[in-house]
Amino acid sequence: MFRKSPVLTSFRFLPFFLSFGILAHAQEKYSAAELGAEYATFRGTDANLQGQTFSGFGGRVDWNLTRRLALESEVDFFPQEATPLLLVQGGQTLQAVFGIRAKAVQTGNLSVFGLIRPGLLHFTGVNVLSGQADPLYVTQPATYFVLNLGGGMEFYPSPRWILRFDIEGDPYRIPGYSASTAAGTAVLPGKINDTVRLNFGLAYRLGPLVRNERETKVPGKWEFGPLFSTLVVAREGLTDNVRTEPGFGGYFTHRFYGVFYLDGDLLYFPRSTDISGPHDGGTILQGLLGLKGGIRRNHLGFFGKVRPGFDSYSQALTGITTSPTSPPVFSYGRSSNFVLDLGGIVEFYPRERSTIRVEVGDTHLFFGTRDVNVDGSTEQASGGKMQHSIQLVFGYGWRF
């Protein structure tokens, strides 16, 4: 979520930037290409399972499509050897992403931007099962899909040079892993892991400078339309544990004040599960309602989103009845759980009253404690830690 006035107010009184003589005309022009270098940090885990910050370096290349929208690629390397953990991390780290950088606030001195950049996260040596009693684990390289989401600020000491800071979340998909042992096949369930990154960089604008185009606002307070979604999520009770669920539904948006909108999605994911857990099973009904904030200019719109809601599962495990002479009997019921959707939305306006909408986000899942009846006795199934899921949504809407 981006808001103009607090950002401008907070930086207006900083003599640090004034001491560098920032020019008011620094952002009147931009170039097609930018080349930058950066110091980067990556939040991992040490041998004592405590948080540890790893330092690295990298570079980025931007291709500016407009004064606000750019295609951006970034590669960062973290040379320090991280403690090998089971599938999660280990060894040196390399991350390569490619996506969109969108500026929501622009002045002569600075800009505030958002990032949506899918890519790959590579570790040189994560722990996996060896299939033997000794050693139980071995290390091997692993490469995972990552969705880099975040935002930051750029400062312009001259028309060519750019100082940049950004903070990002890095949810990444860890698939399930299996190994053959003397006792049979051992399975490690997959999951969506998450980490945090900070970058500090310097960039240079290449080629001729082009004057910023004139901007116009996009009309319309109300908007609605259909959606198609893919949800990458760890399903409870499945062998591989991580699946990509297709879904469909609809959305609506209402601008109630300035750059702020009431925004909601209702989505249904029809694919059922083979095995249910006490929190998750069957099909998923997802409802989200919250705030998006950003701007609409010319044919583009850029927004951050914060939307609480629910995931309702049609067939969660509620009871087990066993018998020495017959297979166990399972009973099921609906389970509804709180979720929080964080991420970004990019909109394209091909016509005066139509919208093409792309949502990307990390939907946080909060499972509560559930009661399971086991042969007449109530047992509690803990919800455990907050879980992550990666969600990509496409939609078409009408504005009025």
pLDDT band at 2 (very low <50, low <70, confident <90, very high): very low
Q: Do domains 1-213 and 215-400 have the same CATH topology?
A: yes
Q: What is the pLDDT of residue 317?
A: 94
Please write the tens of the pLDDT for every residue from 170-201. 999 999 888 777 777 777 888 999 999 999 99
> What is the reported pLDDT for 17?
30
Model confidence band, residue 13 (pLDDT cutoffs 50, 70, 90): very low
CA distances from 201 to 22, 62, 115, 208, 265 (A): 17, 13, 15, 22, 36
The tens digit of pLDDT for each residue in 119-149 reads 999 999 999 988 887 888 899 999 999 999 9
In this prediction, residue 178 carries a pLDDT of 80
What stretch of H or E contains 318? strand 300-323
What is the predicted pLDDT for the residue at 300?
A: 93
Please say if the pLDDT value at position 105 is more than 60.
yes
pLDDT at 22 over 50: no
* Contact assessment for residue 254 and residue 261, using Cβ atoms and an 8 Å cutoff: yes
Average pLDDT over residues 103-126: 94
User: Which string of b and e fits 130-139 if b means at least 16 CB within 10 Å?
Assistant: beeeeeeeeb
Select from 322, 358, 352, 316 the least CA-distant residue to 336: 316
> What pLDDT is stored for residue 181 in this prediction?
73
pLDDT at 238: 62
Fold of 215-400: Porin (2.40.160)
The pLDDT-based confidence of 107 (bands split at 50, 70, 90) is confident
CA distance 7 to 291: 18
Phi–psi pair at 349, nearest 5 degrees: -120, 90
* Cβ count near 51 (within 10 Å): 11
Global pTM value: 0.87
Closest CA to 65 of 89, 92, 31, 91: 31
pLDDT value for 239: 63
pLDDT at 61 over 70: yes
40-60 tens-digit pLDDT: 999 999 988 899 999 999 999
* pLDDT attached to residue 176: 85
User: Of the candidates 253, 204, 205, which has an alpha carbon nearest to the alpha carbon of residue 225?
Assistant: 253
What contacts 24+ positions apart, CB below 8 Å, involve 52-57?
52/82, 54/78, 54/80, 54/82, 54/93, 55/80, 56/80, 56/93
pLDDT at 24 over 50: no
Confidence at residue 236, expressed as pLDDT on a 0 to 100 scale = 87
Q: What's the pLDDT score for residue 213?
A: 84
How many other C-beta atoms are found inside a 10 Å radius of the C-beta of residue 272?
Answer: 13
The architecture CATH gives domain 1-213: Beta Barrel (2.40)
Dump pLDDT digits (tens) for 222-243. Answer: 999 999 999 999 998 766 689 9
Q: What percent of the chain has pLDDT over 70?
A: 92
Neighbours of 3 (CB within 10 A): 16
Report, as an integer, the average pLDDT of 328-334.
Answer: 94
Domains of the chain: which residue ranges? 1-213, 215-400
User: Dihedral, CA atoms, 243, 244, 245, 246, nearest 10 degrees?
Assistant: -160
Residue 263 pLDDT exceeds 90 = yes
Query: Would the pLDDT of 23 be above 80?
Result: no
pLDDT, the chain, mean:
90
Which pLDDT score, from 0 to 100, does residue 185 have?
A: 77
Quote the DSSP letter at residue 387: B
Burial of 381 (0-12, 13-18, 19+ CB in 10 A): middle
Whether the pLDDT of residue 11 is over 90: the answer is no
Give me 309's structure tokens: 């809601």
Dig out the tokens for 78 from the structure.
């973290």
Residue % of the chain over a pLDDT of 90: 77
**Is the C-alpha dihedral spanning 221, 227, 230, 231 positive or negative?**
positive
